Structure 1
Amino acid sequence: MRKRVLSLALIPLLLFYAIPVGAAEKEQRTWKDEIVYSLMIDRFFDGNTQNNGDADVNNPSAFNGGDFEGITKKLNYLKDMGYTAIILSPIFANEENGYQGDWVNDFYKTDEHYGTIKEFKKLVNEAHNRDMKVIIDFQANNVGPNHSWLTDPNKQDWFHEEKEISNDSNQEDLETAWIDGLPDLNQDNKETRDYLLDAAKWWITETDIDGYRLNKVQYVAKDFWKDFVETVKSEKSNFYTIGDVQGDADLISSYKKTGIDAFMAYPQNVELKETFAAPDKDLNPVFDAFVKSEDVSESKGSQGLFMDTQNMPRFTKAAADHNENPGTRWKMALSYLYTMPGVPIVFYGSEIALNGDKAPDNHKLMDFKTEQELVDYITKLSELRDMYPALTKGDMELLYEKGGTSVFKRVYGDETIVVAMNNTTETQSIILTDKELEKNKELRGMLNGDLVRSKDNSYSIVIDRETTEVYTLSPKSIINIPYLFVIGLVLVIFGIFIALVIKRSKRNQPK
């Protein structure tokens, strides 16, 4: 009898799940779907003090102790914020004090300060278990200043002749000069080229990493990068390559034919830092930079949007220089990164508004004992990107822009997301008509819970100072009283029926 009662109790659940919800399966994951956390291994978290060696936390120019095991221990921290991929600073063995990864002395070994290759493989495996991808920086332009190849008579032609850049506009000069005094590799030499390509393949097959961020792209010839991309993708077809070209949109676009999948959006970064460092700044330059960057590069929303890298002062410093609250400024900036076309790439410490000027001041140790507000905000933005494909794949149209206030929409199939940004110190009112948005619907706020219903074929949005709201354009919600009455009546009758069945079963039990 108990089994019979249990079966009856399951009927409402079965009926509920039998109702078609019309939810489509997620499309295959691409680079555009990623939310990326970029970190310096040495400055993130020290998970194993046994490999510290000469690390000195009091010396900002020396190794400080961060390692692979520390990152592994913090994967859940990153996963919980919604990050789907991590970019690591170069993992290759470096010379003394080469914590930043630029002074490579062995392309086939991990740096001893970070841990063993076994520990790195564990990091990759644990990330994959959490459906997170691992991307590492690949330094193909130079080696460390004291590399053994420099004194090897059989490898003299592995390097370009030592010289500084004499003409920034001369591409050959850029590709052959010693940047920052570091020995410049000659990729035109077949042995050098083969060595780098073989090393790139080896790390993929040996550790199953998912991508390379390519440093100093403009300092290496395009034909090498073309070979490089073809080589790594022959090992793993869905392997990511992200180019770091520090230049304008035209320069970045010139590397598109190399096959590199995406590029760091440096032209947009200049305007982003200037605009979001303080309120009451015109947003028009930001959108102009986006349009030009997209038009020239034809990237279709694949560029990496960022506020900070390890090579520049922190955005927090820019906000502090304006005597602004860094947390508020970061919320505005992150709202842009997460809702505009492009892939958000967030540098470690941004979630705690880590401050810092030029290197090594911008490479401070990560502090995990801080307030939760920014972490929660990032988490919410990540949830929205994951929930609504329009935020990752949708077309963008600017609907309104005046002073520091803007509204744009992202459209993908039948889904429309509307983003309102108020980068001013005053509450703003914006009216959108049926020319911008379909009439007789409502805007449901997903960040702050705002609700705007269409009235007289228009939408009146009121948005608080220095805030962003992300809306879904949805059918008007209607309270269907007759429907609710019928559902309630059915549940009451069903409850009475169950009670009678239980009462009857008790009567029939032997005394």
Structure 2
Amino acid sequence: MQKEVLYHRPKNNFAYAYDEKTLHIRLRTKKDDVQSVELIYGDPYDWKDGTWQIKKSKMIKSGSDQWFDYYMAEVTPEYRRLRYGFVLMNDNEKLVFTEKGFYEEAPTDDTAYYFCFPFLNKSDVFTAPDWVRNTVWYQIFPERFANGDLANDPEGALPWGSAEPTPGNFFGGDFEGVIQHLDHLSNLGITGIYFTPIFKAKSNHKYDTIDYFEIDPQFGTKETFRRLVDACHEKGIKVMLDAVFNHSGFYFGPFQDVLINQENSPYKNWFHLHGFPVVTEPKPNYDTFAFEKSMPKLNTENPEVKDYLLKVARYWVEEFNIDGWRLDVANEVDHQFWREFRRTVKSVKPEVYILGEIWHDSMPWLQGDQFDAVMNYPFTSAALDFFAKEKITAIDFADRMTNVLQSYPDNVNKVSFNLLGSHDTPRVLTVAKQNKERVRQLYALMLSFPGTPCIYYGDEVGMTGEMDPGCRKCMEWDEEKQDRSLFEDIHKLIRLRSDHPAFGNDGSLSFIKTSNTPGMLAFKKTSSDETLLFAFNTESQSIILEKALFEGFPNTINLWTGEIISPELAVVKSNDFIILKLR
């Protein structure tokens, strides 16, 4: 047995409080090295005749990737404290793995050998808002969604859709336009809107904030925004705003004061300045987002900056009853600021959703004291690599996503923000080389995957676009130019997700390794009430599903067509998917 590969560490994603009574314990082993694993555990104070009293529970294999197997056990300790270890077995060996090392038999003369979960404190349980698990999001880039009020168009605004998007042109999108098209979203099944920045800024993307307390005039007034939020809430749609707290815009008042007054400015410590005079050319001598001189980085460790930004965070929740904050460039802001941010907004409205923009491993931000979730770009990358770019096999996809799912607690995975594209990426249909069948497969995958899914505006009607600025075209409102078939298919998938608990976050996912067919991806979603089988075929020929997948289920319903079919007739056509309810 490969001892050096075994890995466990209490807390984080390997031992965590799933709820107020339940612990999840995970163990990583070398792939195919272990045949069975038992969790040995007990209360550290439970002794009888000088012997520690232990219990045993079989651990289930919760996933496998290219290198590792992962095992999981769910435990409800009677007194909310636990000492534990692992018994591993294969044909040749039995091994007891503890915090202090390896043994042939489980020692019971001292609990100090064992891993420790000291106490399951209620305040340590990771809790994201319950509503997020059942939310389907829609991302709106306000400048390009709809122009409902020509009177507030910015100077030089072009007629809607009359030109290709550029980094500097405007088309007059606004809040009134969103209000006028809310039926489009509710008809699709959308229950949450994520707006990119709406605050006063110079650019069309608004990530260069001038005033965090003011709506950009091209979008409307605060009264218009209040009507928008109220109208969304009446339709059961949550509203999430984009907070750009890593950096401000060039024309942000305090930064302009620095440029004018230099070392005499009272705001000189609001930024990360490398010296005086502060200059922008040929290269800025202050920290910025990337190397963008128009986006000076804010010093969030400065008490004045912190106080200002926390007032912003509180203001939009208190005054307008927004439901979430998406945090731009969240990984470059100090952890302490985000801890105080969470306390601030949750004190106003505990059910606010806090979403961080992080593209890499995010466990340090997801321990219950900072974010509720992050944008799941590892999912985006793997899904596009398999379905759209054909760079990886189904096994590669399953390996990558198993690794992601095992990297976080289950209650984190269920609110992870899943997306196929955004204002920062090429549109999904463009990535898929106009292959609409593959796009349908991608939506079937995203809407059935653990997490909370998001659709980028216009993707539901087949809009295309390369990387920014191409992905920021004006929304196509001419139904003759929309792909209504794609719209209806996505609507149907959203309805299935709503109607079948196992389809969404009430179902636990297990990948299925099918026979040597690199283009066939299959997994089951299982809840207490039902089992669903999802299969995706990217091969050039139809594939008959293996009978072993239906063991114990004599007949099945094709949820997509409503047909009752026998396992012998379960066929997945080329570039298609099938969703079966096993009975």
TM-score by shorter chain over 0.5: yes
Counterpart for residue 214 of structure 1: 327
Q: 1:271 aligns with which of 361, 367, 382?
A: 382
Identify the structure with the greater helix proportion: 1
Check the 8 A contact 1:37/1:348 in 2, yes or no.
Answer: yes
User: Are 2:239 and 1:124 equivalent residues in the alignment?
Assistant: no
User: Which deviates the most, 147-156 or 77-86?
Assistant: 147-156
Check the 8 A contact 2:395/2:513 in 1, yes or no.
Answer: no
Deviations 1:415-450 (A, max 9, x none): 2121121122211111132xx555243221111344
Counterpart for residue 141 of structure 1: 246
Aligned mates of 2:302, 2:130 — CA distance in 1: 38
User: Which deviates the most, 382-391 or 393-402?
Assistant: 393-402
Counterpart for residue 314 of structure 1: 427
Gaps of 5+ in 2: 1-128, 258-264, 276-285
Counterpart for residue 240 of structure 1: 353
Closer, same or farther: CA 314–383 of 1 in aligned 2, 3 Å: same
User: Are 2:538 and 1:423 equivalent residues in the alignment?
Assistant: yes
User: Are 2:534 and 1:389 equivalent residues in the alignment?
Assistant: no
Counterpart for residue 91 of structure 1: 198
Aligned mates of 1:118, 1:376 — CA distance in 2: 34
Secondary structure at 2:545's aligned position in 1? strand
Q: TM-score, normalised by structure 1?
A: 0.79
Deviations 1:248-293 (A, max 9, x none): x3xx222113431111111222121221115696222222221111
Q: 1:377 aligns with which of 472, 484, 489?
A: 489
Q: 1:346 aligns with which of 455, 469, 474?
A: 455
Aligned mates of 2:462, 2:452 — CA distance in 1: 20
Structure 1 residue 297 displacement after superposition: 2.2
Aligned mates of 2:288, 2:149 — CA distance in 1: 39
Structure 1 residue 379 displacement after superposition: 0.4
Aligned mates of 2:438, 2:274 — CA distance in 1: 44
Deviations 1:202-222 (A, max 9, x none): 000110110011110111111
Counterpart for residue 398 of structure 2: 287
**1:295-306 map, 5 Å:** 295-298=406-409, 299-306=412-419
Counterpart for residue 580 of structure 2: 471
Check the 8 A contact 2:287/2:296 in 1, yes or no.
Answer: no
Deviations 1:172-226 (A, max 9, x none): xxx9654322111001100100110111100001101100111101111111111
Counterpart for residue 28 of structure 2: none
User: Are 2:154 and 1:53 equivalent residues in the alignment?
Assistant: yes
Counterpart for residue 269 of structure 2: 157
Counterpart for residue 301 of structure 2: 188
Check the 8 A contact 1:268/1:286 in 2, yes or no.
Answer: no
* Count of residue pairs brought into register by the alignment: 421
Q: 1:254 aligns with which of 364, 389, 405?
A: 364
Counterpart for residue 518 of structure 2: 403
User: Are 2:170 and 1:70 equivalent residues in the alignment?
Assistant: no
Counterpart for residue 337 of structure 2: 224
Closer, same or farther: CA 449–214 of 1 in aligned 2, 3 Å: same
Secondary structure at 1:441's aligned position in 2? coil
Gaps of 5+ in 1: 1-27, 164-174, 475-511
- Please identify the structure whose Cα radius of gyration is greater: 1
Aligned mates of 1:421, 1:200 — CA distance in 2: 42
Structure 1 residue 162 displacement after superposition: 5.4
Identify the structure with the greater strand proportion: 2
Q: 1:330 aligns with which of 433, 439, 450?
A: 439
Q: Which amino acid aligns with 1:256?
A: L
Q: 1:41 aligns with which of 125, 142, 158?
A: 142
Check the 8 A contact 1:47/1:69 in 2, yes or no.
Answer: yes
Structure 1 residue 414 displacement after superposition: 1.9
Deviations 1:127-171 (A, max 9, x none): 1001110111111111111222123311111111259xxxxxxxx
Secondary structure at 1:37's aligned position in 2? strand
Q: Which amino acid aligns with 2:537?
A: N
Structure 1 residue 312 displacement after superposition: 1.7
Secondary structure at 1:154's aligned position in 2? coil
Aligned mates of 2:392, 2:302 — CA distance in 1: 50
Aligned mates of 1:462, 1:279 — CA distance in 2: 22
Aligned mates of 1:241, 1:438 — CA distance in 2: 42
Counterpart for residue 13 of structure 2: none
Counterpart for residue 453 of structure 1: 566
Aligned alpha-carbon RMSD (Å)? 2.0
Q: Which amino acid aligns with 2:177?
A: G
Q: Which amino acid aligns with 2:407?
A: V
Structure 1 residue 62 displacement after superposition: 2.4
Secondary structure at 1:254's aligned position in 2? helix
Closer, same or farther: CA 140–429 of 1 in aligned 2, 3 Å: same
Aligned mates of 1:55, 1:223 — CA distance in 2: 43
Structure 1 residue 246 displacement after superposition: 2.1
Q: 2:186 aligns with which of 62, 71, 79?
A: 79
Q: TM-score, normalised by structure 2?
A: 0.69
Secondary structure at 2:267's aligned position in 1? helix
Aligned mates of 2:530, 2:343 — CA distance in 1: 36
Aligned mates of 2:544, 2:460 — CA distance in 1: 30
User: Are 2:219 and 1:107 equivalent residues in the alignment?
Assistant: no
Q: Which amino acid aligns with 2:476?
A: D
Check the 8 A contact 2:462/2:483 in 1, yes or no.
Answer: no
Secondary structure at 2:531's aligned position in 1? strand
Between the aligned residues of both structures, percent identity stands at: 26
Check the 8 A contact 1:429/1:463 in 2, yes or no.
Answer: yes
Closer, same or farther: CA 128–36 of 1 in aligned 2, 3 Å: same
Counterpart for residue 365 of structure 1: 474
User: Which deviates the most, 114-123 or 177-186?
Assistant: 177-186
Structure 1 residue 389 displacement after superposition: 1.1
